[in-house]
Amino acid sequence: MAQGGFGIEIILGIISLVTSLVAAVVGFGGGMLLIAILPIFLAPSVIIPVHGLVQLASNSSRMLFSLEKVRWELLPQFLVGSILGSIVIGYGLSHIPMNYVPLAIGLYILLNLWSPRFSALVTRYESFYLVGFLQTGLGLVVGATGPLGLSVLTKKLSCKDEIIATSSLFMTISHFAKIPVYLVITASLFEDIGLIAYMVIGSVIGSYLGTKLRFKAKNEVVVKVIKILLTLFAIRMVVGVAL
């Protein structure tokens, strides 16, 4: 599966640690860094499944290390939406045009963060049922849907630790929903379980270190960084589709 041997396992373990640390400090971004690097080391057929498993470990450990900060009252709505999204979008994958989904996500994030009029308008209809439906359902085919939930949480919550911990819970559910799909599309996923183990261990250590660093950081600084990174990410999505 990997291009190389034991040394590649160590390298990817360290890369997973660093990207998971980044995500634990600011709430997201580690997964995008990781998936940009994986093609250097892995065969194309296993990049998405391996990335999903490592991100599942990264997000779930990040949530566990901040468990007391999770806003559990938001879970039921998100979970119901996630189940419906997996069923509806999963069933209709072959009939849904996905080319412009990143454009829609990018524009939504930009308007939600920076347009008070749009933000006030969508707040009437915005719910975590809808966030769960879109984030998990579209996540089956579109790599980066976590910022959807994060942009809404940034509006609803003011504490950086609550935002990141609750977002980690949401992303854990979304990544977990992908496992049955991964098992169907590739039979070779667990052929090199050692590589996956190194990457999972690295991601858990990164989550732990990043959580400690985040707890020491100022609340307003981290929230501002989240908004700036979300903005840059959204612009990248819009420009990527336009080009």
The per-residue pLDDT for 71 is 95
pLDDT of residue 170 exceeding 90: yes
The predicted-structure confidence for 15-62, as pLDDT tens digits, reads as follows: 999 999 988 888 877 887 787 788 888 877 677 778 888 888 999 999
User: pLDDT class for 182, splitting at 50, 70, 90?
Assistant: low
pLDDT of residue 147 exceeding 90: no
Asked if residue 53 lies in contact with residue 200, where contact means CB atoms within 8 angstroms, the answer is yes
| CA dihedral (160, 162, 228, 175) positive or negative | positive
Question: Looking at the domain assignment, is residue 231 inside a domain?
Answer: yes
The Cα 210–Cα 18 span in angstroms is 9
Domain containing residue 155: 6-242
Question: Looking at the domain assignment, is residue 64 inside a domain?
Answer: yes
Question: Looking at the domain assignment, is residue 120 inside a domain?
Answer: yes
The per-residue pLDDT for 6 is 62
Number of domains in the chain: 1
pLDDT of residue 155 exceeding 80: yes
Per the prediction, the chain carries an average pLDDT of 82
Question: Looking at the domain assignment, is residue 1 inside a domain?
Answer: no
Question: Looking at the domain assignment, is residue 84 inside a domain?
Answer: yes
Nearest to 149 by CA among 162, 166, 161: 166
149-169 as b/e: b if 16+ CB within 10 A? bbbbbbeebeebbbbbbbbbb
pLDDT of residue 201 exceeding 80: yes
Question: Looking at the domain assignment, is residue 176 inside a domain?
Answer: yes
Residue 2 β-bridge partners: 42
